[in-house]
């Protein structure tokens, strides 16, 4: 296959692209991706593929991107492909045909990406506003309609808590993890022992609990099939729910299994006669 110069050119075009697609696919399948970073990474990925075939000056305009697809010779097919194509002894007509097929591949790739992004694009964009470093009033204005839908707390209270974040010196260990950051705010107390961010943090964590892809949901279905097998087909919904909570809680503590899981004092306090009522 590689002895064929045409096939070799196609491979030099495809390999860098397939590496990018595989990297993005792994992010969709990740167990605990950072929701606030995912939207930008997905947007950057889409722009990267689109910029190879679309005039960069037209990408930001709210027009049909397919009206601005560049000529075959103006598209970017990768440095390795360009060097190999220049050094090739193939006829110019054959080179032009290869470039055209590569361009069609890129155009179809952009179409397929755009089919998948709008479904959760708005949700992902909202999650990106919950990044620990994003404390601007403009971001709050964008996200407040969604926050208001999920809580009965007044907008004024949410705004005060949002603005107070800029004066809070959170530990560096939580500033690099969006979920840990909002858990830190939820548990944070002021000098009087009051939770100054409880309402805002609670609704932020509710938003962050929504899956950014279907991979996590499919993992739950797989666990259900493992737990509720032919020998345990009479498991009640409550029991099944508790077993799933245990499995995913253990995984959330970065432990491999229950043998290395260490329950905290709050968990131990719940092991009393009340659990049998």
Of the residues 74, 96, 128, which one is the last residue of a structural domain?
A: 128
pLDDT tens digit sequence for 197-229: 999 999 988 888 877 777 777 888 888 888 888
Residues 101 and 53 in one domain: yes
* 238 and 183 in a common domain: no
- Bridge partners (DSSP) of residue 45 are none
Which residue's entry shows tokens 């598209």?
75
Please list, in sequence order, all residues whose beta carbon lies within 8 angstroms of the beta carbon of residue 141, skipping any fewer than 6 positions away.
Answer: none
pLDDT over 80 at 79, yes or no? yes
Short-list 246, 167, 170, 178, CA closest to 212: 178
160-201 pLDDT, tens digit per residue, is: 999 999 888 888 888 888 888 999 999 998 888 889 899 999
Q: List the one residue out of 148, 75, 149 whose CA is nearest residue 106.
A: 75
Taking the CA atoms of the chain, what radius of gyration do you get in angstroms?
Answer: 25
Residues 192 and 97 in one domain: no
Is 0.85 surpassed by the pTM of this model?
no
Of 14-28, 125-139, 154-168, 175-189, which range is least confident?
Answer: 125-139
pLDDT for 43 beyond 90: no
pLDDT of 277: 64
Which of 192, 208, 224 delimits the end of a domain?
208
How many domains, the chain? 3
Residues 44 and 101 reside in one and the same domain:
yes
The residue from 106, 128, 150 where one domain ends is 128
At 66 the pLDDT is 85
Do 201 and 235 have their domain in common? Answer: no
In a shared domain, residues 22 and 37? yes
Residue 7, CA distances (Å) to 10, 11, 13, 74, 121 in order: 5, 6, 10, 22, 36
Q: Alpha helices of the chain — where are they, by DSSP H?
A: 5-29, 35-50, 79-87, 92-128, 137-149, 155-164, 172-175, 178-187, 198-208, 215-227, 237-252, 265-269
Which domain range does residue 194 map to?
Answer: 137-208
Pair 90, 50 in one domain: yes
pLDDT of residue 2: 58
pLDDT reported for residue 61: 57
Note whether 162 and 146 are same-domain residues: yes
Same-domain pairing of 42 and 75: yes
Cα separation of 17 and 105, whole Å?
11
Rounded to 5 degrees, φ, ψ at 138 are -65, -40
- 63 and 88 housed in the same domain: yes
pLDDT above 90 for 146: no
How many Å apart are CA 65 and CA 253, to the nearest integer? 44
Looking at the fold, whether 13 and 44 belong to one and the same domain comes out as yes
Q: Residues 9, 120: one domain?
A: yes
Per-residue confidence (pLDDT) for residue 253, from 0 to 100: 52
Per-residue model confidence (pLDDT) at position 102? 95
């Amino acid at each position: 296959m590689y002895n064929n110069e045409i096939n070799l050119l196609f491979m030099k075009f495809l390999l860098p692209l397939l590496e990018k697609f595989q990297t993005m696919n792994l992010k969709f399948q990740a167990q605990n991706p950072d929701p606030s970073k995912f939207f930008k990474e997905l947007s950057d990925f889409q722009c990267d593929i689109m910029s190879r075939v679309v005039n960069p000056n037209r990408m930001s305009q709210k027009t049909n991107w397919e009206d601005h697809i560049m000529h075959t010779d103006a598209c970017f097919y990768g440095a390795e492909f360009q060097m190999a194509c220049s050094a090739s002894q193939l006829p110019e007509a054959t080179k032009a045909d290869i470039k055209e097929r590569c361009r069609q591949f890129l155009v179809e790739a952009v179409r397929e990406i755009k089919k998948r992004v709008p479904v959760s694009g708005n949700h992902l964009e909202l999650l990106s506003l919950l990044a620990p470093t994003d404390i601007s009033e403009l971001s709050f204005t964008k996200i407040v309609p969604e926050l208001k839908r999920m809580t009965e707390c007044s907008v004024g209270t949410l705004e005060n808590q949002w603005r107070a974040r800029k004066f809070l010196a959170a530990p560096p260990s939580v500033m690099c993890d969006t979920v840990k950051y909002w858990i830190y705010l939820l548990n944070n107390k002021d000098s009087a022992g009051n939770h100054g961010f409880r309402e805002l943090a609670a609704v932020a964590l509710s938003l962050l609990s929504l899956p950014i892809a279907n991979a996590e949901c499919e993992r739950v279905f797989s666990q259900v099939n493992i737990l509720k097998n032919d020998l345990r087909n009479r498991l009640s919904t409550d029991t099944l729910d508790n077993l799933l909570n245990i499995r995913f809680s253990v995984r959330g503590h970065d432990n491999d299994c229950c043998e290395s899981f260490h329950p905290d004092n709050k968990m131990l306090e719940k092991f009393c006669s009340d659990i049998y009522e």
